């Protein structure tokens, strides 16, 4: 065991299925706190299902869990005018930016060494865009961003297997009402 404490990582989690495996991997090198900021999720009942599952899982594993108050109306203000954008378009970039900016500010204000997000594990998310946003926000506030394309090294596949082994609820759309309408997988 190292004589030095692990760096404090604030990890934005979109849901337990995407974050569970990653956090089990990250905990080897970091003291992880889950940051749950997902006011994009609609309806609120879906938000509660995802949040409760993440909170129950992470707290049972001894991982700290911080939840930002659900405010879908504020999120709608952020993406106003971009409701008809396709998935991965400007609306999604605004959504990523809002949540990463909130995470960066919380990390800086609360003494974390770095922050990151599980969002890039999804095959439906552009890791280059996410990592560019994270690095820019980190530079702006003087903090480090752990940028990683979490899909690499078969992590998405491993996260699916991990979530199945825990019986996690797996949603069939990203989260917002626009992604639900636009999701071709439904």
Phi, psi of 34, deg, nearest 5: -80, 135
Let me know if 37 is exposed, middle or buried by CB neighbors in 10 A (0-12, 13-18, 19+). Answer: buried
Q: What is the pLDDT of residue 77?
A: 98
- For position 124, which CATH number holds? 3.40.50.620
On whether residue 39 sits in a domain, the answer given is: yes
Q: What is the pLDDT of residue 182?
A: 56
Which residues are registered as beta bridge partners of 34?
11, 65
Q: What is the pLDDT of residue 87?
A: 87
Q: Which segments of the chain have a pLDDT < 70?
A: 1-3, 182-186
On whether residue 26 sits in a domain, the answer given is: yes
Q: What is the pLDDT of residue 3?
A: 65
Q: What is the pLDDT of residue 186?
A: 37
pLDDT tens digits, one per residue of 121-130? 998 899 999 9
Question: pTM of the prediction?
Answer: 0.93
Per DSSP, helices labelled H in the chain are 16-26, 44-60, 72-79, 90-109, 127-141, 155-166, 177-182
């Amino acid at each position: 065991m190292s004589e030095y404490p692990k760096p404090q990582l604030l990890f934005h989690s979109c849901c337990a299925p995407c974050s569970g495996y990653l956090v089990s991997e990250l905990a080897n090198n970091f003291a992880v706190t889950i940051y749950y900021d997902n006011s994009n999720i609609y309806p609120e009942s879906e938000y509660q299902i995802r949040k409760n599952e993440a909170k129950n899982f992470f707290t049972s594993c001894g991982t700290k869990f911080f939840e930002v108050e659900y405010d879908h109306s504020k999120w709608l203000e952020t993406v106003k005018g971009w409701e008809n954008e396709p998935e991965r378009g400007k609306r999604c970039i605004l959504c990523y930016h809002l949540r990463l900016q909130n995470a960066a500010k919380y990390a800086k204000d609360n003494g974390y060494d770095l922050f990151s997000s599980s969002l890039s594990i999804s095959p439906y998310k552009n890791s280059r865009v996410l990592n560019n946003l994270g690095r820019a926000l980190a530079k702006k506030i003087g903090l480090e961003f752990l940028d990683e394309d979490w899909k690499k090294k078969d992590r998405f596949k491993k996260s699916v297997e991990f979530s199945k082994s825990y019986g996690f609820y797996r949603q069939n759309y990203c989260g917002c009402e626009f992604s639900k309408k636009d999701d071709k997988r439904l």
